Amino acid sequence: MKPNFSLRLRIFNLNCWGIPYLSKHRAGRMERLGDLLNLESFDLALLEEVWSEQDFQYLRQKLSLTYPAAHYFRSGIIGSGLCVFSKHPIQEITQHVYTLNGYPYMIHHGDWFCGKAVGLLVLHINGLVLNAYVTHLHAEYSREKDIYLAHRVAQAWELAQFIHHTSKKADVVLLCGDLNMHPKDLGCCLLKEWTGLHDAYLETQDYKGSEEGCTMVPKNCYVSQQDLGPFPCGIRIDYVLYKVVSGFCISCKTLQTTTGHDPHSSTPLSDHEALMATLYVRHSPPQQNPTPTQGPAERLPLINLLKEAWTELGIGIAQARWWATFAGYVIGVGLLVLTLLSVLVAGEVTSDVAVLLWTPSVGLILGAGAVYLFHMQEAKGLCRAQAELQHVLGRAKKTQELGLEPQVAELLGQQAENRVEQ
């Protein structure tokens, strides 16, 4: 049994916009970020888009006294961009790289090269086990024609599953990061419903910061109107989410965001706004019913979300298969052209043109081959997520058919086991 105590946790989250050579005033912003973190002395600072490991090493050195523990999550070709600084010793570290993360040929978007991931830290604070997750999902470049929607939904599901399966013995679960999803987006709702995580912005008793909790605001000089798309007043895509197990209760005393400008400087810390939350974890007597069951009314949203996600992934699978088939046809045409060119060269008819056409033909075949393999793998990845959703839906249906109400809750409400007692 845990002792009767109250724990205050001060959390900082920021997408740092730290792209070497491309992000404006990077060095200066990193320096000011370090100063702020040292001054405020949070329990945990979770950062995204620290793309340069040198920036991490700079911060590590600068913060070494205030935050003795730090970790940089490496993945992909460029890196995950994720790192953490902690006042408390980090007991355990692991990470999970998302199966799907955009397309390698969308070089100008670049997400594929980053190896987007979720990092996990296990901390023991005053005998309490805290699982802190930090993540960054695929960006949304166009809300109207979002070609990455299926990937982002799959990432949200993988994130929810990773948290669900790795946090079963944690007392407190904390997820911070840039989800690249608005609060009511499918992936965001699915994540919150499946894990039982609560949104600090919606739960806090005292909010100070940008309007409606937005983390990308037009006031920020690094944010263009294009970044905000059809939301000129700003968007909320960065989050502090949390939950505790039965026996504890958690509350968000204060939540603060930066507001697009730094009072001590002419430029803000990043193109995103920082989130600063103060959470209180207290001991609370165990509930009489230790496994809270959800009534059908409360369960319905989750089932609907699972179905909606299943459909969205299905659209993604159809598209992936279309591209694989198209690439297959291109390979066929390329091989045909190559054979024809070989015949022409062998027959010494128009050999110059034939030789000139060799390069694009071989390139076409190799390129189409790579596209084919990539989309086959994409379809497999989406099918995998869809099969997991199907499994959950199948079990819910079977149990409902049998009329076994409590078991439905057990199956679908596992995410509710460790729900917050507010």
Q: Which two tokens stand for residue 144?
A: 């109207």
**What DSSP assignment string belongs to 220-283?**
STT--HHHHTT-TT-B--EEEEEEE-TTEEEEEEEEEE--SS-TTSSS-SSSSPPEEEEEEEEE
Cβ nearer to a copy of itself, comparing 95 with 258: 95
Q: Which two tokens stand for residue 390?
A: 């199907």
Cβ nearer to a copy of itself, comparing 75 with 210: 75
Active-site hit among 182, 272, 283, 391: 272
Cβ nearer to a copy of itself, comparing 222 with 248: 248
CB of 130 to a copy of itself, least distance (A): 14
Question: What stretch of H or E contains 334?
Answer: helix 296-346
Other residues' Cβ atoms within 10 Å of the Cβ of residue 298: 14
CB of 208 to a copy of itself, least distance (A): 36
CB of 195 to a copy of itself, least distance (A): 13
Binding interface with a copy of itself (CB under 8 A): 71-77, 79, 89-97, 99, 113, 115, 120, 161-162, 165-166, 168-169, 352, 355-356, 358-359, 362-363, 366, 373, 376-377, 380-381, 383-384, 387-388, 391, 395, 411, 414
CB of 115 to a copy of itself, least distance (A): 7
Cβ nearer to a copy of itself, comparing 164 with 219: 164
CA distances from 20 to 23, 54, 140, 288 (A): 6, 10, 21, 55
Q: Which two tokens stand for residue 113?
A: 């090269």
CB of 294 to a copy of itself, least distance (A): 17
Cβ nearer to a copy of itself, comparing 87 with 395: 395
In terms of Cβ atoms closer than 10 Å to its own Cβ (0-12, 13-18, 19+), residue 116 is: buried
**What DSSP assignment string belongs to 143-180?**
STT-TTHHHHHHHHHHHHHHHHHH-TT-SEEEEEEE--
Backbone angles phi, psi at 289, to 5 degrees: -105, 100
Residue 45: name the closest of 12, 89, 68, 16 by CA: 12
Backbone angles phi, psi at 312, to 5 degrees: -60, -40
CB of 224 to a copy of itself, least distance (A): 29
DSSP lists the bridge partners of residue 123 as 90, 130
**What DSSP assignment string belongs to 36-95?**
HHHHH--SEEEEEEE--HHHHHHHHHHHTTT--EEEE---SSS----EEEESSPEEEEEE
Of how many residues is the chain composed? 422
Cβ nearer to a copy of itself, comparing 29 with 138: 138
CB of 83 to a copy of itself, least distance (A): 11
Cβ nearer to a copy of itself, comparing 38 with 377: 377
Residue 272 annotated among the catalytic residues of the structure:
yes
* Residues in CB range of 266: below 8 A, 6 or more apart: none
Give me the active site residues, please: 272
